[in-house]
């Protein structure tokens, strides 16, 4: 699937306006304040907080097994970009638990706008 299709379907699943989600993401990428990564049917929006930290937002249609593999690839690519700390605001606690199960050290965030962080 195309990244836009994944984002739209994930937005609908999470009761978010899919057109607004696409507009916001498109604008962030266009302004170079964010990049998109895609693995399988998962898309990760990465927005820099500072030179070594980024916020992450995941849109996925993958099964848990495929998602686990995608997340590991996202982590590797993030490390390659110089990211050492990832932050997120997970609405879905199952995704945070999946990240823990595959070896990502999830902790409580030290930034108030996020509910988890991971040193990678």
The model's pLDDT over 20-37, given as tens digits with 9 standing for 90+, comes to 999 999 999 999 999 999
* Res 30: pLDDT: 96
Do residues 58 and 70 touch, judged by C-beta distance below 8 A? no
- Give the confidence band of 84 by pLDDT, cuts at 50, 70, 90: very high
pTM of the predicted protein model: 0.92
DSSP lists the bridge partners of residue 118 as: 86, 106
* Res 93: pLDDT: 83
Do residues 28 and 21 touch, judged by C-beta distance below 8 A? no
Break the chain into its structural domains and give their ranges. Answer: 3-119
* Res 18: pLDDT: 96
> Mean pLDDT over all residues of the chain?
94
- H/E stretch holding 44: strand 42-50
Residue 113's alpha-carbon distances to 4, 6, 12, 105, 117, in angstroms, are 26, 25, 23, 19, 11
Q: What is the mean pLDDT of residues 54-78?
A: 96
**Residue 91 confidence (pLDDT) above 80:** no
Do residues 117 and 87 touch, judged by C-beta distance below 8 A? yes
CATH homologous superfamily for 3-119? Answer: Gcn5-related N-acetyltransferase (GNAT) (3.40.630.30)
């Amino acid at each position: 699937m195309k990244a836009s299709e994944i984002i739209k379907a994930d937005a609908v699943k999470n009761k978010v306006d899919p057109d607004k989600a696409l507009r916001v993401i498109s604008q962030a990428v266009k302004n170079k304040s964010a990049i998109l990564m895609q693995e399988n049917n998962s898309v990760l929006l990465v927005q820099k907080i500072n030179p070594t930290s980024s916020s992450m937002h995941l849109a996925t249609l993958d099964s848990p097994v495929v998602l686990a593999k995608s997340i590991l690839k996202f982590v590797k690519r993030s490390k390659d970009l110089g990211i050492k700390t990832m932050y997120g605001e997970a609405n879905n606690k199952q995704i945070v638990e999946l990240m823990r199960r595959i070896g990502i050290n999830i902790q409580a965030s030290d930034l108030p706008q996020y509910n988890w962080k991971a040193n990678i």
